[in-house]
Amino acid sequence: MKIINLKNNMVYLKDYIYLRNTYSDCLLTKKVTKNKTKQWLKTHQVDIFIAILKEEVVGAIIIYYEKNNEITIFTKYKNKGIGSKLLFYILNKAKFNKYDLWAWIEQNNVLSYKLFKKFGFIKIKDFEKEFKGMNFNGYILKKFFKSD
């Protein structure tokens, strides 16, 4: 499995969008299109790293530099180590460049919580999000590198 930056490998854009949109509700985001995403990548301080296995997009991690390095992660298959590989990849970057990372996780998202805890993220606070008129309880998890 390889991890690459979508910005430099736009041939995978369509497959990435398909995967991302299957999780739009779970990630509390609206569905996106190819053109919107292209534009968004140009105008925002973000990176999307995708995991490729046999030419298939099997996962992605988004880092929002403009939101103090928030990350979002999702995978096509569960419990095959894809999430771990993506998170490890971004953690190494953060460690090298000395910036902190954080993520919001819905309180019932046990798999995600386990994944982040495994890599040393700690729960900072409870945080409620609103989406489509509904409230979702969750946590902010953070991994510190600045002061290490």
Ligand X SMILES: CC(C)(COP(=O)(O)OP(=O)(O)OC[C@H]1O[C@@H](n2cnc3c(N)ncnc32)[C@H](O)[C@@H]1OP(=O)(O)O)[C@@H](O)C(=O)NCCC(=O)NCCS
Footprint of ligand X on this chain (CB under 6 A)?
23, 26, 72-75, 78-84, 103, 105, 109, 111-112, 114-115, 118
Specify the residue, 12 or 85, whose C-beta has the smaller distance to ligand X: 85
Q: Kindly provide the residue ranges of all beta strands, DSSP E only, lying in 33-121, ordered along the sequence.
A: 46-53, 56-64, 70-75, 101-106
Shortest Å, Cβ 55 to ligand X: 19
User: Based on CB atoms, which residue is closest to ligand X, 79 or 92?
Assistant: 79
Query: Shortest approach of ligand X to residue 89 CB, angstroms?
Result: 12
Q: Which is nearer to ligand X, 78 or 146 (CB)?
A: 78
For ligand X, give the closer residue by CB, 13 or 83. 83
Q: How far is the CB of 30 from ligand X (least distance, A)?
A: 16
- The CB-nearest residue to ligand X is 83
Tell me the residue ranges of DSSP E strands in 17-148: 46-53, 56-64, 70-75, 101-106, 122-131, 134-143
Of 58, 95, 26, which Cα lies nearest the Cα of 120? 95
Is residue 3 within 8 Å of residue 86, measured between CB atoms?
yes
Two tokens at 15? 């497959």
Min dist CB 134 to ligand X, Å, is 17
- Decide: 15 and 4 in contact? Cβ < 8 Å: no
